[in-house]
Chain A
Amino acid sequence: MNAPVNGESPLKSEHDIVLARQLVRKLTQELGFSLVDQTKMVTAASELARNAFTYGRGGSMHWEKTNGGDRRGLKLVFVDEGPGIPNLELAMTDGWTSGHGLGMGLTGAKRLVNEFAIDTKVGVGTRVTIVRWK
């Protein structure tokens, strides 16, 4: 059974990250993404989902099968109500991390997708939107 055109998935535990990944894989398969594109989108989703969980104290992933002209794609929005990112320029630097990771998640995710937008406000939360076209 195909998933609906849009929906929301929670990111409250480590297990939710696994579920989100599986969901994104299913969605990209339904949209007919190639194996490489599937893997890229799933990996980007994994990074952002984990960021929302680890740094944003949990949040949610909104997804939408979208159309842009004659092409189809998948849009994912990761929303958390965490502390926000005080220095976005620094956060978007390869190898910089505020935690214990490799510091490649945010920038890596950006390179794995076609469109990437980040909206963050200290004390309010962070919202990352990514789109990958087929």
Chain B
Amino acid sequence: MAEATLSTVLKKSGKDIKASWARDLAAAQVSAKGRISAAELEQQASEFLNLLTKVAEFARANDIGASDFRQIREFLEGVSRSRAAQGFTSDETATFIFSFKKPLFASLKAEIGKDAEELVEQTWKATELLDSLGLHTIKAYQKTREELINRQQREMLELSTPVVKLWEGILALPMIGTLDSARTQVVMENLLQKVVETGAQIAILDITGVPTVDTLVAQHLLKTVTALRLMGAEAIISGVRPQIAQTIVHLGVDLQGVTTKANLADALALALRRTGQTLKA
């Protein structure tokens, strides 16, 4: 009699294992979350079993980096990506692999249950293999999330720096959030570029959405004002709330050479006067 191993058991009882596994998976992932369809889950289960059967023959857990595993690795990375996109947590994602153990071990037991030593041996091999596949899945999941965060950070960098034209010759830069990161440079460059493009005479820097104005933020503002001045444009800082005003006074930052206004409306009114424009009611 040929020895029963992980590979032969998978080949022989693959269907039963999958049926049982799919039931567990469906119960755990579909009903609870409704984020993944039964058909999709079924298809992923089939493919996983198929790929696992392929590698089980020569499988040793420490081979998972080898080229024989390329297909199953890529498959798991794909599953991770889609799970992350569907909003699954990392443990829910890993459960996809780890829940395969229960039906697999049941089948191993049925096949080689009489030989205790062999059963332990095969179970251990299967555990090692599935564990490393599971870990690979988690790693891929983590990577997907990190990529997502990086992308969002980059998006925010651009998102938060719109320069808007308020009126003929008047630009406004509504600043939101933290100003002391890499963003400030982008903000300043964008603004100066727009001043050149539009030939604006006045730029309003609105800091209503900046929660904290410390010396570094003040320094950035002063630099921007100076740069604008060098380009022949005038700057108005608006959105100086009472608490910010008091804090700046205590900090001792000198903003005396800079035109400031409490809100954007006042700043616009001033800008219109300075550019000799009037609004007709």
Contact = CB atoms under 8 A, between A and B. Distances in A.
B252 interface: yes
Given A50-B216, A111-B252, A14 B181 contact: yes
A40 B180 contact: no
Contact of A108 (B180, B181, B252): B252
A32 to B, nearest CB: 15
Contacts of B218: 102
Contact-residue bracket for chain B: 20 to 34
B178 A18 contact: yes
Interface string A12-53: 001101100100010000000001101110110011001000
A104 B251 contact: yes
B243 A36 contact: yes
Contact of A35 (B243, B250, B252): B243
B250 A108 contact: yes
Contacts of B181: 14-15, 18
Contacts of B253: 102, 104, 108
B212 interface: yes
B81 to A, nearest CB: 26
B37 interface: no
Contacts of A105: 214-216
A46 B252 contact: no
Given A14-B180, A40-B250, A46 B212 contact: yes
12 contacts: A14-B181, A39-B243, A40-B247, A42-B212, A101-B216, A102-B215, A102-B216, A102-B219, A105-B214, A105-B216, A108-B215, A112-B251
Interface of A: 14-15, 17-18, 21, 25, 35-36, 38-40, 42-43, 46-47, 50, 94, 101-102, 104-105, 107-109, 111-112
